[in-house]
Structure 1
Amino acid sequence: MKISISKNSKPFISKKMFGLFFEDINYAADGGLYAEMIENRQFAFRRSWAGSTANDYKTEYTPDYGWKIYGQQDCAEMEFIKGCSLCDKNPHYMKFTTNTGNAGFTNKAYDGVCLRSGASYNLKIWIRNPKYEGSLTVICKSSDGTITAAQKEIKIEKNKNWQLIEDSFTADSTIKNGTFIILQNKGTVDYGYISLMPADAVAGVFRKDLFELLKETRPGFLRFPGGCIVEGAVLSNRYNWKDTVGENWKRHWNWNRWATHNIYMWTPGKLAKYFPYYNQSYGLGFYEYFLLSELMGAEPLPVLSVGIACQFQTSEMVDIKSREFKDYIQSALDLIEFANGSTKTKWGKLRAKMGHENSFNLKFIGIGNEQWQTDKVNFLERYKAFEKAIHKKYPDIELIGTAGPDVTSEKYTTAWNFFNNEIKANKKFTAAIDEHYYMKPEWFYEHIHMYDSYSRDIPVFAGEYAAHTEHRENNLEAALAEAAFMTGLEKNCDVIRFASVAPLFARYNYAQWWPDFIWFDGDTSMATPDYYVQKLFGKYTGTSYIEHSAENAGDKIFTSVTTDGNNYFVKVVNAGDNPVELESIHVDSDDSISRELLLDSAKVIQLSGKSLSDVNVIGKEENVKLEEMTASKNVVIPGLSVSVFICR
C-alpha cells in the first residue's frame, strides 16, 4: 500500500472535535468518578420502581439502606428519624444508641471499602450529641475480619447542635471489599452525614485513576450531565442543576432515572439487573462538572431540560404557556450567570463562594437531550423559545439542537428540516445539531461516507454513538468499526464540530447499559479497546485534514491524514484479518515535486489484537492495548489493528 498526500487541506471547524459524554448511568457518579466511598452517607436514599401504567413511577424513602448494626445486636438500637435533620432538603438522620462499648454500625459501601496500604483517607462526620461525651472509633477491616487496615479514635465533646468532625487516617494494609465500622461508647449520638474520601481524590472530588483515564484522552469538550437523565423518567426526577450546587451536604438528593431501567441482556434468555436503590447525591454536580472540564482542558457543554420528560418512558411535560415552562428558560439564563457571571451577580457570587472566582468561560449549551417533535410534543417550538430568550441576554452563547434519538426515522428528518429553515433567517439559531446512533458494526462501515453529502450550513455534533456487537461487548470488533467510522468524521471535519462515544463509565456488577468506555470496581479500573481508539483520535487530531489516496489498500483498509503544522498524523485502520505492507507515504508540494516521508524514523502508536472477540478484563493483563514503536522502512500493518504514524 502506498499513501499519497495532496497539498489540499480542510481546516478543522473545531480543534476540539473529539470529546467525552458523561451521564450518571452504570454508577458512573456516586460509586464511580465521584470519589465518595460511603453509600447513602446522608440517609437520603429512595427506593424507586415503575408502576403498571405509563407515567407511573413510585418512590419511598429508605434512609436505612446500606446501614446495619455491628456487634451485639441486642445492645444497640438504630433509628432513622424524619425532622430536625442536618438539612431540610434531606429530612432524615440516624439516632444510634448503645448500652455497651462493643456495638456500632457498618455501611454497605457498594461492595465494601477498598484501602491501599500507605494511602490516606479523609473522614467527615456531622453529629449531634447533647448527652454523649467520649469517642467514636472508625475501623476498616478485611471482608473476613482477619485484617484491620485502619483504626482511628475520634474524641468528641457534648454538643446540642450539629457539629462537623473532620479527621483522617493512613491505611496500614491493603484490603478489598472490606467492612467500614463506627463504634460508640455507651450512649446516644445523632448522625447527619458520614463521608470517607481518599486523600488523593483530584480536587477533593474525583477518583484519581478514573480522572487520569479521562484526561489521557485529551478531550476537547465534556458533554454533561446526560443523556436521558437530563429529562428524568418523570419531571420530578429530571436533573435540575440548581439542586446540585452549594455546600455538598445541603444538596437535594434524587433517585436516578436508570434505577427503574429493567431491560433484557444481550445474552439470550437472561434478564438484566436493575437497581431500585440507585440514587444521586449530587456530590458530583454542575460546579464539579465545570471544574472537571477545566482540569482536563475541555470545553464544558451542559445539556438542559426543556420541560419534557423522557419520551421513551412517559408523556409528561409542562405546558409551553405555563409559568413552569418560563422557569425552565430562567434556569438556563441562571446557569450562564453561574458559569460566567460577575461575582456581584447572584449566581456568580455562589460560584465564587464555592471556590471559583473566575468565570468558567461557558460557550455552549445543549437545549434538550434527544427530544423529537410529535402531534402532542412541541419540542421545536420550545427550542425557539429558549433560543430567543438566551440570545436576547447572551448573544454569544452557542446553542446545540437535537435531531432526536436516531438518524433513520421521520423524527430525524423533521428536526433537520426545521433547523435548516430557521438558520436561513437567523445564523445564530443553532451552532450544531446533536445526532445519536447506536448501531451494529456493519452499519459503521457502511456509513463512513455518511457526512460527505451533508449540507455545510449547520455543523453536526455526533453526541452519542457506539458500535453494538451481537452481545454488546467492549471488544476489538466494536473498536475497529468505530475507528473506521471516525476516519470519515475527520474527513468531514468541515461539518463535524464535536463527536463523543457513549456511555462513558460502568461499575462492574452495577451496569444497566453496555458497551461502555471504561469499567471499574472499588479500586481497579480498566480501559476498553474502544477507549484506546478514542485516545488515539483525541491525542492525534491535528488542526487540518489533508486529502490523500491509498493505492492498493484493499476493502477493509480505512485511512485519515491530519496535520498540526509540524507533524503529519497518518491513521490506518486495518479491519481485515490479513497484514498489509505500507511501502511509502508521499507528500505533494507546491512545486509539484513529491517528497517521501521517512517511515524508518516515524513514531507509531498501534492498537491490535488476535481476534475480533478480544476484550480486556478488569484486574487482569490487557489483551488489547496501545503499543509505541519506531517504524521500519517497509512497515507491516497487522490485521485487526489501528495505527497512527507520526512523521514529518
Structure 2
Amino acid sequence: MENHMKHRTIKRSFFWVLPLLLLGITMTNAQPSTTVEASINASETHEPVSDYIYGQFVEHIGDIVNDGIWAEMLDSRKFYHPILEEKPEQEEGGFRAPANRWIAIGPMNAISLDSSHVFTGEHSPKVATSAQDKRGFWQDRLSLVKGKEYTGRIVLAGEGDVTIHATLVWGEGVDEQQTIKIAELTKEYQTYDLSYTAGTNTNNARLEIIGSGNGAFWTGAVSLMPGDNVEGFRKEVLAVLKSLNSGVYRFPGGNFVSGHEWRHAIGPIDKRPPIMDPHWGVVQPNDVGTDEFLTLTRLLDVEPYITVNAGFGDAWSAKEQVEYVNGSTDTRMGKMRAENGHPEPYNVKFWGVGNEAWGSWQMGAMSLDQFVIKHNLFSKAMLDVDPSIKLIGSGAMPDAMTCSEESLKRTGKIVTEYLGEADWTGGLFQHSLHNMDIISEHFYAYAERRFDIEKGESVPIDPNEPLTD
C-alpha cells in the first residue's frame, strides 16, 4: 500500500509540472526577449487528489451487468419465459442483443410450466418423458474457445425411470459434443455439477437438456460459465476494470434501483426469483445483487457506494439493507448475511438515498416538498443502524432542472427559480442538509445539441453560431 501511494503521488506531481511547462512556453512565445526560468522542487507535494474523483457506475440497464461483467452464458436460466416450440427470428435488441430462449425438443404438449412443484419464481418447466423419443429443450448462440473448460450446474427433480442427458454441442458430429448423464432423480430438487471442454472455437454452440425413459423431470435452474471465472465474474473484464484505477463504484442504479427489491437478490443464487424489471422491461435473474457487487469492489480494490430504493422503496427496507451490509452477526440482518456466506460486516461508507428523484421518469416520482420528507425519513432510519455512514442526497441544480425540462413540467416555467419548487438541490439544502453529507448531481449533455431557453427545448447546434456574444 505504501509503494502504491508513493506511485500515485509521483504521478500527480507530473500533473503540476505540465501546466508550468506550458506556461513557460506561452510566456516565451509572447515575449521572445525575456528569459523565463522555472524551478520545480519535486520533493514538495500538495495533498493528493481524492481517490474518489474518478469512479464507475454499475446499473442493471437491461442485461448489461449479467452479460457484461457477470460470467453467466445462459439466458432465462431460471425459466421466467415459457419454452418455445421453435426458435424465433432474432430482432434488434435495445440495450443488448436479443435474449436467447429455450426451444423444445420433442412434442410441445409434453412440456408444461408447473406452478405446483416450483424451485424458484412462479413456475418450473416439467417435461413428460417417453422411452420412444427424446424430450427436453435447448439453447444456442453460446460462444466457446477451443480447449477451454466450461463449468456449471443443473437443478433437477424427477419421477419414474428417467435419465437426463445434459449435452454441450459445438458441431454436427458425434465427436463434437460432450454429454453428462444424470440418473436416479428424486422428487426433491437436487443440484448436479456440469463440466465440459470445448472442442473448437464457435459462437453458436448449444446446450441440450434431454430426458429419456418413462416418467417426468422438472428443471429448477441451469448455469454455465467459463471455468476461469473469478467468483462469478468474467476474468478478462475484471482485468480491464482493474486497469482503470477507479476510486469508487456505485450500484445498483440508476433508474433500475427505484423498482428493485434488494432482498430478492441475496441468498442462494439459484433460489433467487427471476423478475421482470419494471423500468427497463428486461428479465433479471437476480444473480448479481448486493453481495456480488461487494465481491466485485473487493476484487477491484475500489470503494463501494450503494444507492437504496427511494422510489417504490421505503425507509424500513433501506434500514434493513444497511443492517444487512454493515450490521454485526448479533443483528437480525447481519445474521442473515453470515448465513449467506459473508460473516464479516462489509462496512460500506457511502450510501445514496434514491436516484434522480427529481426526474419525472423515476418510478415513485414525487414533488420536492414531499421528497425532502422522504429523504429525512430514510436518513434517520439508516443512521439509526449505523451512525458512521455518509449519506448522499439526490440533487439537481437549477441548470439541470431547466435543461431536462423538469422545471417546465413541474412549474410551467422554463427557467428554474433559485430555491423555488423545482430547485431540487436548493430544497435539499434547505430541508435536509442535516441529513446528508454529500450531494449527487447528474447533468446530461448531448453531442451537437444545446438547450434553447426561448424555445424551452433541446435544439441542434448551429455550426455557424458563435460561442460567445
TM-score using structure 2 length:
0.72
Q: Is residue 183 of structure 1 aligned with residue 210 of structure 2?
A: yes
1:330 aligns with 2:316: yes
The superposition leaves residues 416-467 of structure 1 with CA deviations (integer Å, 9 ceiling, x where unpaired) of: 223433577x3xx3222111122135789xxxxxxxxxxxxxxxxxxxxxxx
- Distance in 1 of aligned mates of 2:431 and 2:49: 21
Aligned match of 1:432: 438
**Counterpart in 2 of 1:595?**
none
Instruction: Please give the residue correspondences for 1:453-472 in structure 2 after superposition, counting only pairs within 5 Å.
Output: none
Deviation at 1:119?
1.3
Distance 1:140 1:406, change over 3 A: farther
Q: In structure 2, how many angstroms separate the alpha carbons of the residues matched to 1:359 and 1:384? A: 25
Contact kept in structure 2, 1:370 and 1:405, CA below 8 Å: no
Q: Which ranges in structure 1 are unaligned for 5 or more consecutive residues?
A: 48-63, 232-237, 261-277, 310-324, 445-467, 471-554, 556-648
CA deviation after TM superposition for structure 1 residue 247, in Å: 0.6
Q: Following the alignment from structure 2 to structure 1, what is the Cα–Cα distance between the partners of residues 175 and 285?
A: 29
Partner of 1:79: 112
Q: CA deviation at 1:46?
A: 8.8
- 1:92 is matched with 123
Give the aligned residue type for 1:418: G
Greater helix share, 1 or 2?
2
Following superposition of structure 1 onto structure 2, how do residues 129-144 of structure 1 map, counting pairs within 5 Å?
129-142=158-171
* Pairs within 5 Å for 1:195-594: 195-203=223-231, 205-231=232-258, 238-260=259-281, 278-306=282-310, 308=311, 328-372=314-358, 375=367, 378-404=370-396, 407-409=399-401, 414-422=423-431, 426=434, 429-441=435-447
* Structure 1 contact 46–255 (Cα < 8 Å) conserved: no
Larger RCO, structures 1/2 (Cα 8 Å, 6+ apart): 1
Is the partner of 1:160 in helix, strand or coil? coil
Q: Does 1:192 align with 2:212?
A: no
Distance 1:45 1:379, change over 3 A: farther
Cα distance, 1:288–1:255 mapped onto 2, change above 3 Å: same
State the alpha-carbon separation in 2 of the partners of residues 378 and 354 from structure 1: 36
Q: Confirm or deny: 8 A CA contact 1:106 1:179 kept in the other structure.
A: no
Give the drift of 1:347: 1.7
TM-aligned CA distance change 1:200 to 1:164, over 3 Å: same
Conserved? CA contact 2:57–2:251, under 8 Å: yes
Aligned mates of 1:9, 1:225 — CA distance in 2? 37
Q: CA deviation at 1:367?
A: 0.3
Superimposed CA distance per residue, residues 381-436 of structure 1 (whole angstroms, 9 cap, x where no aligned partner): 21122222323442211011112498432668522223433577x3xx32221111
Superposition pairs of residues 154-165 of structure 1, within 5 angstroms: 154-165=181-192
Q: Deviations over 1:568-596 (max 9, x none)?
A: xxxxxxxxxxxxxxxxxxxxxxxxxxxxx
1:105 positional shift: 3.7
- Aligned 8 A contact 2:260 2:277 in 1: no
Offset of residue 289 of structure 1? 0.7
Q: Counterpart of 1:615?
A: none
Q: 1:2 aligns with which of 9, 16, 22?
A: 22
RMSD of aligned residue pairs (Cα, Å): 3.3
| 8 Å Cα contact 1:38/1:107 also seen in 2 | no
1:202 CA drift (Å):
1.1
Question: Cα offset for 1:40?
Answer: 1.1
Q: Is the 8 A contact 1:37 1:196 kept in 2?
A: yes
Q: Give 3-state SS (helix, strand or coil) of 1:11's partner.
A: coil
- Distance in 2 between the 1:420 and 1:405 partners? 11
Q: Which runs of 5+ in 2 are unaligned?
A: 1-20, 25-37, 84-98, 359-364, 408-415, 451-457, 461-466
Deviation of 1:12 (Å): 5.2
* Inter-partner Cα distance in structure 2 for 1:406 and 1:40: 43
Query: Structure 1 residues 137, 228: CA separation in 2 closer, same or farther (over 3 Å shift)?
Result: closer
* Cα distance change, pair 130–99 in 1 and its aligned pair in 2 (3 A): closer
Distance 2:82 2:381 in 1: 36
2:120 matches 1:120: no
CA displacement 1:311-330 (0-9 Å, x = unmatched): xxxxxxxxxxxxxx7xx212
State the distance in 2 between where 1:197 and 1:336 align. 31
Contact 2:400/2:442 (<8 A) preserved: no
How many residue pairs match? The answer is 379
Distance 1:130 1:22 in 2: 43
Q: Deviations over 1:334-393 (max 9, x none)?
A: 112211221232222222232222221200110010012865871112112222232344
Residue type at the aligned position of 1:398: K
Q: Is the 8 A contact 2:249 2:303 kept in 1?
A: yes
- Over 3 Å counting, the alpha-carbon distance change for 1:44 and 1:375 in structure 2 is closer
How far has the Cα of 1:125 moved from its partner? 1.1
Letter in 2 for 1:94: P
Counterpart Cα distance in 2 of 1:46 and 1:128:
18
Partner of 1:573: none
State the secondary structure of the residue aligned to 2:253.
coil
The one-letter amino acid of 1:329's match is A
Shift of 1:230: 1.0
Alpha-carbon distance, 1:32 to partner: 2.9
Q: Secondary structure at the match of 2:260?
A: coil
1:75–1:298 distance in 2 versus 1, CA, 3 Å: closer
> 1:153 offset after TM fit, Å?
2.4
Counterpart AA for 1:2: L
Which residue type is aligned with residue 208 of structure 1? K
Aligned amino acid, residue 128 of structure 1: A
Instruction: Confirm or deny: 8 A CA contact 1:69 1:76 kept in the other structure.
Output: no
Equivalent residue for 2:7?
none
Secondary structure at the residue paired with 2:160?
coil
Query: Which residue identity lines up with residue 296 of structure 2 in the other structure?
Result: L
Closer, same or farther in 2 for the Cα pair 1:423/1:168, shift >3 Å? same
Residue 102 of structure 2 is aligned to residue 67 of structure 1? yes
Letter in 1 for 2:103: K
| 2:119 counterpart SS class | strand
CA contact (8 A) 2:307 2:355 kept: yes
Match of 1:38 in 2: 74
